[in-house]
Structure 1
Amino acid sequence: MATVLRFLIVIPFAFVLSCLTSAFTILWPYLDLADTPEMHRPFAYIDAAFAFWAQSGQIGSTLLIPWTIFMALTEMFGLNSLVLHLVAGLVGSVAIILVAYGSPPPSVSIQAAILISGTVFALTYWVVAGRRAGAWRPLRRSRRAEPAPQAAIDPDGKDA
């Protein structure tokens, strides 16, 4: 039952939360607009909230298939390394920069925002679901639960 709940609730929740934190990372520089004239408009905060949810949806729709494949591989093989997840986030960010922007790369600040966003996405996913990847597999649990080898005992009751 825990395995079913993991795949139906924990992993999708981790993906959605990762999308939200990644969008927050990208929109963070725009949140300090309280002293600017734009934030005195009546619908400025509604616009900011809409931008946050739209950015989250865009991240989710872009990463759904690649991250699902990555998640399936980590779950099947029990790969729960933090470094592996962070490298996957960085590789995905670089791929987005190369594919979405093409030959003339975007400014360094946009590249940095995408790289940080991908790292935050991967870190959030690892914290919520990735660190327990493959723990549902009985074979993996039985290997970890094996006791340490004991010293051989002679039939006479003496240590060998």
Structure 2
Amino acid sequence: MDGGKFLVQLLKIVLGFILGLVACGLFLAWGFFQAAHPDENPIAFGAMVGTGLVGASVVGAAAFVPAGILIAIAELARLRGIVFHLVASGSIAFLLWTVGFDGETGDLRPGSVVVLAAGFLAGLVYWTIAGRTSGCWQPERPKEPMSGS
């Protein structure tokens, strides 16, 4: 194990997680409130940004444990694909959104599409910063010679 690469990867994981949460929170605030352009209504836009940042901290507190488990799995298994990270983040977002919802009609909770999109965006941001290099700190696996039968 390369200690320097491990430390750099840890820093990228923390940075990617935080920026993914900020992107998620801002997208949720925009998706649910749809404030006007800053030139038209700067107060509403400022409130939307503030709500997005507070929302990012709330989402981060709720998603910390499941995201940490999935990040550890990705690091140990060297899962670098964008599909894994998008599915993982979207699943976490959808799970957190539907917990406690008593959908008697069998329909999705209102706003589920916005939440899924925010989760996918968070996963994309995380993958761009840290997910593409998952497991880079581990020693290379020995190549097995191909048998010529």
Runs of 4+ aligned residues of structure 1 deviating over 4 Å after TM superposition are: 33-36, 43-46, 146-149
- Partners in 2 of 1:68 and 1:99 — Cα distance? 19
Q: Secondary structure at the match of 2:99?
A: helix
Aligned to 1:14: 16
**Percent of matched pairs sharing the same residue:** 21
Unpaired segments ≥5 residues, structure 1: 152-160
- Partners in 1 of 2:44 and 2:93 — Cα distance? 30
- Partners in 1 of 2:8 and 2:98 — Cα distance? 36
Aligned to 1:59: 59
Aligned residues: 139
1:56-89 CA distances to partner (integer Å, 9 max, x unpaired)? 1111111111101100111111111111111112
1:13-35 CA distances to partner (integer Å, 9 max, x unpaired)? 00000001111211224232558
State the TM-score, normalized to the length of structure 1: 0.74
User: Which of the pair has more CA radius of gyration?
Assistant: 1
Please say if 1:5 is aligned against 2:21.
Answer: no
Aligned to 1:94: 94
User: What is the RMSD of the two structures over their aligned residues, measured on CA atoms?
Assistant: 2.5
Please say if 1:31 is aligned against 2:35.
Answer: yes
- Partners in 2 of 1:133 and 1:115 — Cα distance? 23
